[in-house]
Amino acid sequence: MIFLIKLMRIDERLIHGQVAVVWSKHLGINRIVVADDEVVNNEMQMMALKMAVPNGVKASIISTDKAIALLNDPRVEKLKIFLIVGNPETALKMMQNVKNIPAVNVGNYGRMSQLKDGGEEKEQLDKNLFVTAQEKNVFHELLTFDVDVSYQPVPTDKAKAIKSMI
One-letter amino acid at 161 equals A
Q: Cα(72)–Cα(121) distance, rounded to whole angstroms?
A: 36
Phi and psi at residue 26, in whole multiples of 5°? -60, -40
Q: Cβ(109)–Cβ(10) under 8 Å?
A: yes
- Please say if 16 is a catalytic residue: yes
Strands 5-10 and 58-62: unpaired
Q: 1, 16, 86, 138: which is the annotated catalytic residue? A: 16
Q: Show which residues are catalytic.
A: 16
